[in-house]
């Protein structure tokens, strides 16, 4: 019997202004479903304390990054905060063909490129908004990762990112973290049932039809 549970992977994109909580939500989602693959981006920015090459990012110089783009090795790429960032294509293809979802923590420019790529039918895009601008600043400060100059730069860029909220399939206002995470799980669970995500349905319904023809006519 054909397996109706065969599924194709989703490309789950999370974007937000820096500090709204997308990395925290992404981490929780990965803990909830360990089959999710995180898309490790390539970047030309320097590693921060505690960041590991190949785990948080693939750190590379500008010439290597640009060669990868020219060779068609990036699903999308963008210039963010003065550095290049991009999502390597090969691991994404491999994961979704094996039926695993891929999680992207990328900005609106990358989201737009993936939404117009050959993989667009399998995209689920979610934008995370902060409950207020003052809370966004408080979170950036309390994260304790950046100098006040960098925080200022991120705050200045935040409106640029927020202004693209309406290009996403879903929007989460990340006020209470637990509640936001529950909503995020609901979205992912429903989207996994979208018809293009279940290629096994065609054979399954064919089987139902054969049975119907045999027994009910």
User: With binding defined as CB under 6 A, does residue 63 bind ligand ADP?
Assistant: no
| Residue 78 contacts ligand 5GP per CB under 6 A | yes
User: Which window, 20-28, 108-116, 162-170, 207-215, contacts ligand ADP (CB under 6 A)?
Assistant: 20-28
Q: Which does 158 bind (CB under 5 to 8 A by kind): ligand 5GP, ligand ADP, none?
A: none
**Per-residue interface string for the shown chain with ligand 5GP, residues 170-189, x marking contact by CB under 6 A:** --------------------
How far apart, in whole angstroms, are the C-alpha atoms of residue 77 and residue 104? Answer: 12
Does residue 16 belong to the site contacting ligand ADP (CB under 6 A)? yes
Instruction: Pick between residue 139 and residue 192 the one whose CB is nearest to ligand ADP.
Output: 139
Residue with smaller CB distance to ligand 5GP, 93 or 192: 93
Residue 199 Cβ vs ligand 5GP, minimum distance, rounded to whole Å? 27
Q: Does residue 109 touch ligand 5GP according to CB under 6 A? A: yes
- Residue 153 binds ligand ADP, judged by CB under 6 A: no
Residue 149 and residue 105 in contact, taking contact as beta carbons nearer than 8 Å: no
Contacts of 159 (CB under 8 A, 6+ apart): 17
| Between 63 and 156, CB nearer to ligand ADP | 156
Contact 20, 139 (CB under 8 A): yes
């Amino acid at each position: 019997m054909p397996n109706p549970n065969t599924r194709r992977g989703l490309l789950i994109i999370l974007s937000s202004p820096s500090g709204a909580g997308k990395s925290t939500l992404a981490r929780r989602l990965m803990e909830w479903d360990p089959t999710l693959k995180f898309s490790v981006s390539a970047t030309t920015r320097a590693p921060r304390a505690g960041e590991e090459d190949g785990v948080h990012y693939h750190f590379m110089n500008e010439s290597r990054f640009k060669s990868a783009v020219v060779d068609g090795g990036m699903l999308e790429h963008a210039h963010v905060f003065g550095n290049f960032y991009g999502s390597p294509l090969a691991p994404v293809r491999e994961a979704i063909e094996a039926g695993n979802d891929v999680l992207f923590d990328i900005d609106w420019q990358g989201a737009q490129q993936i939404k117009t790529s050959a993989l667009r039918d399998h995209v689920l895009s979610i934008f995370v908004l902060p409950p207020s601008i003052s809370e966004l600043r408080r979170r950036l400060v309390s994260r304790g990762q950046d100098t006040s100059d960098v925080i200022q730069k991120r705050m200045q860029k935040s409106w640029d990112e927020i202004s693209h909220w309406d290009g996403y399939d879903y929007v989460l206002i990340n006020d209470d973290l637990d509640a936001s995470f529950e909503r995020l799980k609901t979205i992912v669970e429903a989207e996994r049932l979208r018809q293009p995500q279940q290629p096994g349905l065609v054979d399954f319904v064919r089987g139902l039809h054969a049975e119907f023809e045999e027994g009910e006519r």
